Amino acid sequence: MTARLADQTVFVTGAGSGIGRATATLAASEGAAVVCADVDEGTLRETVSALEADGARAQGVPCNVMDPTSVTTAMAAGAEAFDGLDVLFNVAGIGGLAHTEEVSFEEWQRILGVNLTGTFLVSQAALPHLLAKRRSAIVNVASVAGLNGQAYSAAYCASKWGVVGLTKALAVEYVKRGLRVNCVCPAGVKTPLMGKFAFPENADLDLIKRFGLVPKFTHPEEVAEALVYLGSSAARSINGIALPLDFGNSAT
């Protein structure tokens, strides 16, 4: 069986840990050269070292997705390392839970900056490289919080709804130029980020129940499988979707 990403170059944000590291690992196992980007240079080095130890072609590029200059520099270095770019995986993200009246302007800006503005900036920087290919793909990580309202998640929901909207807008704009754009919408994923999602003091239990009946956490490797599938030619007819990975949570 042919590797799904053979002879392709992929760029993965948030590659230092969690879903990003799992995606970089799976993409490499599927034959891709992997450009790993993360703001945490320590975990970034760990990911790249692990990939290289397995014989993969990997390049680490420090990248703060909120900083246009950092993004432009990282994208240029990544595309140069392996002569172009075929698939972009926008994974970097942050979040947290709080009573909306207690969310500071700085925290609002930080969450929107990483999750939504970061996805936009990286996608924009990648477009010239992706459009130079006959077929290419962007796959974003949104959330079930980008499909349904959730209490104590104003900034996170706003950012992930924005990612879903951005995904659909790009999918329509670039479909005739050979670029597909999709996103996945996981529920709870067992990553270091989950530690940021503790319910605030005096949270209403009835509102918490609206988060859905999820029987277990999703693992990063499961999300990576969906990302790699959507980024591969096996999904060549799929464009503009927001795919829930939530055990049916969004179906209720």
**Rounded distance, CA 71 to CA 194, Å?**
25
Q: What is the pLDDT of residue 207?
A: 75
Q: What is the pLDDT of residue 216?
A: 61
Q: What is the sign of the dihedral through the CA atoms of 76, 79, 81 and 84?
A: negative
Rounded to an integer, the average pLDDT of 214-224 is: 80
**Rounded distance, CA 36 to CA 208, Å?**
35
- Catalytic positions are 156
- pLDDT above 70 covers a percentage of the chain that reads 90
Q: What is the pLDDT of residue 150?
A: 86
Q: What is the pLDDT of residue 151?
A: 87
Q: What is the pLDDT of residue 201?
A: 76
Q: What is the CATH number of domain 9-244?
A: 3.40.50.720
Q: Over the range 234-248, which residues count as b (16 or more CB within 10 Å of their CB) and which as e?
A: ebeeebbbbbbbbbe
Rounded to an integer, the average pLDDT of 28-33 is: 97
**Rounded distance, CA 23 to CA 105, Å?**
32
Average pLDDT, the chain: 92
Q: Is residue 48's pLDDT more than 70?
A: yes
Rounded to an integer, the average pLDDT of 50-68 is: 98
Give residue 214's identity as a one-letter amino acid code: V
Give residue 244's identity as a one-letter amino acid code: P
Q: What is the sign of the dihedral through the CA atoms of 13, 16, 18 and 21?
A: positive
CA angle in degrees (0–180, nearest 5) for 13-19-23: 70
pTM: 0.93
Q: Over the range 206-231, which residues count as b (16 or more CB within 10 Å of their CB) and which as e?
A: eeeeebbeeeeebebebbbbbbbbbb
Query: First and final CA of the chain: distance in angstroms?
Result: 38
Burial (CB count within 10 angstroms: exposed 0-12, middle 13-18, buried 19+), residue 118: buried
